[in-house]
Amino acid sequence: MKKTEKLLTAEVALQFLKKPKTIELNNFTSIDVGAAFALANYKGSLELNGIIEISEDSILALAQHKGQRGSCELDLNGIEKLSDTSIKALAKRKGNLSLNGLKTLTKSAVTSFSKHKGDLSLNGITELSVDYANTLNKRKQYPRNPAILLSLNGLFEISKDVAKALSLLEGHLSLNGMSDLPEDVAQSLANHQLRLYLNGLAKLSPVVASALAKHTGRLYLDGLKELSNTAAEAISNYKGEELHLCGLNEISDDAAEPLFKCLGRLVSGGGMYYAVGGWADHEWVNRLKVLNEAKAEWFIQDQDEEIRYLREMTSITEAAALVLSRYQGNLSLSGLAVISDAAVEALFRHHGGYLSLGINHLSDAAAEALSKHHGDIFLYNFKDLSEAAAKFLSNFSGKINYMAAADWVASLIVKSKD
Q: CATH number of the domain at 282, please.
A: 3.80.10.10
Q: Is residue 14 part of a domain?
A: no
328 with 256, same domain? no
278 with 192, same domain? yes
Residue 22 is predicted with a pLDDT of 94
Residue 2 is predicted with a pLDDT of 58
Asked if residues 172 and 148 have their Cβ atoms less than 8 Å apart, the reply is yes
Neighbours of 104 (CB within 10 A): 11
pLDDT digits (tens, 9 = 90+) for 345-394: 888 888 778 888 887 777 888 888 888 888 888 877 767 678 888 788 78
Tell whether the model's pLDDT for residue 344 goes beyond 60: yes
* Residue of 147 and 183 predicted with greater confidence: 183
324 with 360, same domain? yes
Q: What is the mean pLDDT of residues 262-268?
A: 69
| Residue that finishes a domain, picked among 271, 287, 303 | 287
Asked if residues 320 and 292 have their Cβ atoms less than 8 Å apart, the reply is yes
CA 399 to chain centre: 38
Q: Is residue 323 part of a domain?
A: yes
pLDDT digits (tens, 9 = 90+) for 175-218: 999 999 999 999 999 999 999 999 999 999 999 999 999 999 99
Dihedral class, residue 271 (left if φ above 0, else alpha if ψ from -120 to 50, else beta): left
CA 335 to chain centre: 26
Residue 275 is predicted with a pLDDT of 36
| Residue that finishes a domain, picked among 235, 262, 287 | 287
| Residue partners of 204: CB distance under 8 A and separation at least 6 | 212, 221, 224, 227, 228, 231, 235
* Residue of 301 and 73 predicted with greater confidence: 73
Start-to-end CA distance of the chain, whole Å, equals 79
Q: What is the pTM of this model?
A: 0.78
342 with 275, same domain? no
Residue 273 is predicted with a pLDDT of 30
Q: What residue numbers bound the domain in which 294 lies? A: 290-418
Q: Is residue 239 part of a domain?
A: yes
Q: Is residue 231 part of a domain?
A: yes
Residue 404 is predicted with a pLDDT of 56
Asked if residues 178 and 154 have their Cβ atoms less than 8 Å apart, the reply is no
262 with 299, same domain? no
Cα–Cα distance, 17 to 337 (Å, whole number): 62
295 with 361, same domain? yes
Closest CA to 382 of 336, 331, 417, 347: 336
Asked if residues 200 and 178 have their Cβ atoms less than 8 Å apart, the reply is yes
| Residue that finishes a domain, picked among 238, 272, 287 | 287
Cα–Cα distance, 156 to 171 (Å, whole number): 21
Q: By mean pLDDT, which of 26-35, 93-102, 284-293, 326-335 is the weakest?
A: 284-293
219 with 156, same domain? yes
Q: Is residue 388 part of a domain?
A: yes
Q: Is residue 63 part of a domain?
A: no
381 with 261, same domain? no
145 with 229, same domain? yes
Average pLDDT, the chain: 84
Q: By mean pLDDT, which of 40-44, 102-106, 338-342 is the weakest?
A: 338-342
Element (H, E) at 9: none
Q: Is residue 396 part of a domain?
A: yes
Tell whether the model's pLDDT for residue 286 goes beyond 90: no
Tell whether the model's pLDDT for residue 287 goes beyond 70: no
Q: What is the mean pLDDT of residues 28-45?
A: 96
252 with 301, same domain? no
Tell whether the model's pLDDT for residue 272 goes beyond 60: no
209 with 335, same domain? no
Q: Is residue 75 part of a domain?
A: no
Tell whether the model's pLDDT for residue 29 goes beyond 90: yes
Percent of the chain with pLDDT over 90: 50
Residue 94 is predicted with a pLDDT of 85
402 with 365, same domain? yes
* Residue of 147 and 148 predicted with greater confidence: 148
Cα–Cα distance, 18 to 363 (Å, whole number): 73
Asked if residues 173 and 195 have their Cβ atoms less than 8 Å apart, the reply is yes
Cα–Cα distance, 113 to 104 (Å, whole number): 13
pLDDT digits (tens, 9 = 90+) for 57-104: 999 999 999 877 766 899 999 999 999 999 999 999 988 999 999 999
Closest CA to 46 of 55, 56, 35: 35
Q: Length of the chain in residues, anyone?
A: 418
Ramachandran angles phi, psi of 332, nearest 5°: -115, 110
Cα–Cα distance, 382 to 118 (Å, whole number): 60
Query: What value does the CA radius of gyration of the chain take, rounded to a whole number of Å?
Result: 29
Please give the tally of structural domains in the chain: 2
Q: What is the mean pLDDT of residues 123-148?
A: 86
Cα–Cα distance, 297 to 321 (Å, whole number): 10
Asked if residues 284 and 248 have their Cβ atoms less than 8 Å apart, the reply is yes
